[in-house]
Amino acid sequence: MSGRKRTQISVPDNGDVDAVKPGTVKSQYFSKEGDPQRLGEEFFNQPCISLAKAFLGKVLVRWCADGTELRGRVVETEAYLGGEDKASHSAGGKCTERNTAMFMKPGTIYVYPIYGIYLCMNVSSQGEGAAVLLRALEPLHGLSLMRQLRTARRREGAWPLKDKQLCNGPSKLCQALDIPRCFDRRDLASDQGVVERDPQIGQQEPDFKEVVSASRIGIDSWGMGHQTPALQSAWSPLCECSGQTGRDTDSLTGQHCDIRLCVLLSGRM
């Protein structure tokens, strides 16, 4: 196609992780054994909206085959409750080959394609067919490789990406952290290639100025679109969230299925 270029990036070959020498750790992703910050099954085993909120401030870590570690802090999530949630892939309790991960145990990774070329990453929670979409990260470590991975899919001559634009969308964060389709149905509590962590020992967890809830993005066809004004100027400059958002304090505690949760970081405005 004209106007596009192909760039070769040194990233993991996501092949057979079982093909290792005897006596070695069964991973091509340089897993860290006994990671004290790693979030276990008990973290993911909670209701969908609670998990969407709990994800905020946690750190998603991806290990590359060359030893590079990519890290980003979760700053935006969406809850999809399944069942009567018409915008969910599991609406009506329908389990298919594509969305099987949504019906697996809490903490199961659900990776699905959109527009035929991009990917989104979700994590299952309590509730049949319920899962949390990871919408945006604040890039923390490995930004140089993140930028290479993102740039490889962009048009030649496009404006250089700012740090805050590296992971400011669900497909963008999958590109930036090299999350492949084969991660679908893996267990985030035990996987060797990607983990969810509390902030590292000695690293202060962000001081949340507040958590904002709003309508989810891109589901206008279900009658659940935006009804709130933009508040872009309030976001942390380290992650430029791509959609509009607004305040809806009631939905933080109510059983409202059309919910999107975001975090505002104090001291960074």
What does the pLDDT look like over 203-254, one tens digit per residue?
A: 555 555 566 766 666 655 444 433 322 222 233 444 555 544 433 333 333 3
- Which pLDDT score is estimated for 199? 67
The answer to whether 229 and 246 have CB atoms below 8 angstroms apart is: yes
Model confidence at 95, pLDDT cuts 50, 70, 90, reads: very high
- Structure tokens belonging to residue 233: 């100027």
- In degrees and rounded to multiples of 5, residue 53 shows phi and psi of -75, -40
Q: Which residue has the higher pLDDT, 66 or 150?
A: 150
H or E, element range at 73: strand 69-80
pTM attached to this predicted model: 0.72
Give the pLDDT of residue 220.
52
Pull the structure tokens for residue 174. Answer: 């999958």
Q: Looking at this protein, which amino acid is placed at residue 22?
A: P
Is 41-203 a domain of CATH 3.40.50.2300? no
Q: Where does the pLDDT of residue 183 fall: very low under 50, low under 70, confident under 90, or very high at 90 and above?
A: very high
Q: CA-CA distance, 247 to 118, in Å (whole number)?
A: 29
Burial of 144 (0-12, 13-18, 19+ CB in 10 A): exposed
**Residue given tokens 């958590």 in the structure block:** 211
Mean pLDDT for the chain overall: 72
